[in-house]
């Protein structure tokens, strides 16, 4: 993978490349950030740059034999460790086929999606004792190609304590020309001793213009939908992709939202019932999309009321809507409205009767907006 294939993150790409050019490649790095920000694709592009035989100013060449090997995930000096379901196999190597397929398909995935890739039952994967022995064994080998040896540990916070302590020993006395890349989603779960021995690389959110542009270009979304999804995704391509492919278009959701709230405000029972019926007729994914969108609008409306336009993350059309709507969402009812929508999302996921659910929802909304 080349840096050019990684979405957004231009500043970080520049810094990574500069580091390599100036010979500042720390032997133990902790890359911290939500999986949706693209830590894994960035790390793959970084490895490819490190191995590349003809590295350019800002990217690997993409065509030398090293680049080809990294691209195919078959470089002999690039090693991976990641969480696995122990009852199905004790080390990453046994799942390497799945790992490659998953990355080729789409390198933006999180632990949850990975779990479902390797285990239908969704049992919790970890990085266990055998893995740490395997890591030691691999790093004892001299590098095949004479350059760096890289050990990329994805979701390093899923290491159990024994594995983490073993790793700590290697980090204290690293083999020569070895680079550890520890990719971490949640720093709270990492041993502080490991943290203190690694150089921290923070992976920021992907900026919303990059996400929006990709949604327009690759998925054919209209600009207002793309902007809306991009803002709602909080810088995560995984969320943006899920939102965009859920079938629920935010412009449709917004129309429904407006209709429902208008009926509830007027206390027009017939319109409210019609509204509940039309919601019930949507697919479950669309219903979930609508509810998620509602949660987003509540948050943004509250932000708008307290901070005005500075901090809100909305497309232009949504901003016009929220300017009026925000007076219905205040400190008096925000929590209840938010709770109502997130609970309904939970019930839709669990096959609740949609007619009852949305009828109940709109009557609750009627009570709550009159409390604002
Ligand atoms: Zn190359």
Q: Does residue 13 fall inside a structural domain?
A: yes
Residue 219 domain flag:
no
Q: Give yes or no: residues 315 and 173 share one domain.
A: no
Q: How far is the CA of 148 from the centre of ligand 1 (A)?
A: 14
CATH number at residue 305: 1.20.272
How many A from CA of 10 to the centre of ligand 1?
20
Residue 168 falls inside a structural domain = yes
Q: Which CATH number covers residue 45?
A: 3.40.50.300
Model pTM?
Answer: 0.81
Q: Do 181 and 53 share a domain, yes or no?
A: yes
What is the CA(360)–ligand 1 centre distance, in A? Answer: 60
| 294 contacts 341 by C-beta, under 8 angstroms | yes
Same domain, yes or no: 197 and 289? no
Q: Of 153, 175, 204, which marks where a domain is finished?
A: 204
Q: Which range of residues forms the domain containing residue 291? A: 246-369
Do 258 and 194 belong to one domain? no
Quote the ligand 1 centre to 245 CA distance (angstroms). Answer: 34
The helix-helix angle for 269-280 and 354-369 (nearest 10°) equals 140
Q: How far apart are the CA of 30 and the centre of ligand 1, in A?
A: 25
Please indicate, yes or no, if residue 169 is contained in any of the structural domains: yes
Average pLDDT over residues 200-225: 92
Among 30-44, 205-219, 248-262, where is mean pLDDT lowest?
248-262
Whole-angstrom CA distances from 59 to 109, 345, 361 are 23, 43, 52
**Rounded distance from Cα 79 to ligand 1 centre (Å):** 18
- Ligand 1 centroid distance, CA of 263 (Å): 61
Q: How far is the CA of 21 from the centre of ligand 1 (A)?
A: 15
Q: Are residues 161 and 264 in the same domain?
A: no
Q: 52 and 114: one domain?
A: yes
CA–centroid distance, 63 to ligand 1, in Å, is: 5
The answer as to whether 72 is a domain residue is: yes
Residue with the two structure tokens 């983490």: 164
Q: With a cut of 80, say whether residue 249 has pLDDT above it.
A: no
Amino acid 231: pLDDT: 87
Same domain membership, residue 262 and residue 197: no
How many whole angstroms separate alpha carbon 238 and alpha carbon 232? Answer: 12
What is the rounded distance in angstroms from the CA atom of residue 194 to the CA atom of residue 174? 13
Measured in Å, residue 369 CA sits from the centre of ligand 1 at 60
For residue 40, pLDDT over 70 is answered with yes
Residues 129, 39 within the same domain? yes
Q: How many other C-beta atoms lie within 10 A of the C-beta of residue 60?
A: 27
Domain boundary residue, one of 185, 204, 223: 204
| 225 part of a folded domain | no
Q: What is the mean pLDDT of residues 45-54?
A: 97
Q: 71-108, pLDDT tens digit by residue?
A: 999 999 999 999 999 877 789 999 999 999 999 999 99
Banded model confidence at residue 308, pLDDT cuts 50, 70, 90: low
CA pair distance 158, 179, nearest whole angstrom: 20
Q: 193 and 320: one domain?
A: no
Number of domains in the chain: 2
pLDDT tens profile 343-360: 999 999 888 999 999 999
Final residue belonging to a domain, choices 204, 233, 261: 204
Phi, psi of 199 (to 5 degrees): -85, 130
How many whole angstroms from 147 Cα to the centroid of ligand 1? 13
Whether residues 84 and 200 share a domain: the answer is: yes
- CA of 57 from ligand 1 middle (Å) equals 12
Statement to judge: residues 58 and 173 lie in one domain: yes
In a domain, 238, yes or no: no
DSSP string, 212-257: HHHHHHHH---HHHHHHHHHHTTT-HHHHHHHHHSS--HHHHHHHH
Would 229 be classed as within a structural domain?
A: no
CA 91 to ligand 1 centroid distance, Å = 30
Question: 252 and 185 in one domain?
Answer: no
Q: How far is the CA of 202 from the centre of ligand 1 (A)?
A: 26
Q: List, in order, residues 6 or more apart from 214 with CB less than 8 Å away.
A: 7, 237, 240
């Amino acid at each position: 993978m080349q840096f050019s294939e990684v979405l957004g993150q231009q500043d970080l790409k520049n810094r990574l490349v500069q580091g390599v050019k100036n010979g500042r490649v720390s032997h133990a790095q902790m890359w911290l950030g939500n999986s949706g920000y693209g830590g894994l694709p960035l790390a793959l592009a970084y490895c490819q740059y490190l191995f590349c035989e003809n590295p350019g100013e800002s990217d690997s060449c993409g065509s030398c034999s090293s680049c080809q090997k990294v691209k195919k995930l078959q470089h002999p000096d690039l090693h991976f460790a990641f969480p696995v379901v122990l009852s199905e196999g004790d080390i990453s190597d046994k799942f390497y086929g799945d790992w490659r397929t998953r990355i080729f398909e789409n390198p933006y995935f999180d632990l949850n999606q990975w779990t479902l890739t390797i285990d239908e039952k969704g049992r919790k994967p970890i990085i266990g004792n055998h893995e740490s022995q395997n890591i030691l064994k691999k790093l004892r080998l001299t590098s095949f190609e004479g350059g760096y040896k890289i050990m990329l540990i994805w979701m390093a916070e899923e290491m159990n304590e024994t594995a983490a302590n073993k790793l700590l020993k290697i980090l204290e006395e690293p083999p020569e020309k070895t680079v550890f890349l520890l990719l971490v989603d949640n720093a709270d779960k990492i041993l502080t001793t490991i943290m203190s021995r690694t150089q921290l690389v923070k992976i920021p959110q992907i900026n919303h213009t990059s996400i929006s542009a990709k949604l327009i270009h690759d998925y054919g979304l209209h600009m207002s939908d793309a902007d809306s999804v991009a803002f709602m995704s909080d810088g995560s391509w995984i969320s943006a992709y899920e939102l965009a492919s859920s079938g629920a278009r935010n412009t449709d959701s917004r129309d429904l939202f407006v209709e429902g709230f208008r009926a509830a405000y007027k206390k027009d029972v017939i319109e409210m019932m019609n509204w509940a019926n039309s919601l019930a007729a949507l697919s479950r994914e669309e219903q979930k999309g609508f509810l998620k969108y509602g949660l987003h609008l509540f948050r943004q409306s509250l932000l708008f009321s307290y901070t005005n336009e500075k901090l809100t993350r909305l497309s232009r059309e949504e901003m016009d809507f929220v300017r009026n709507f925000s007076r219905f969402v205040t400190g008096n009812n925000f929590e209840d409205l938010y709770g109502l929508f997130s609970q309904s999302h939970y019930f839709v996921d669990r096959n609740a009767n949609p007619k009852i659910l949305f009828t109940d929802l709109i009557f609750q909304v009627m009570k709550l907006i009159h409390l604002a």
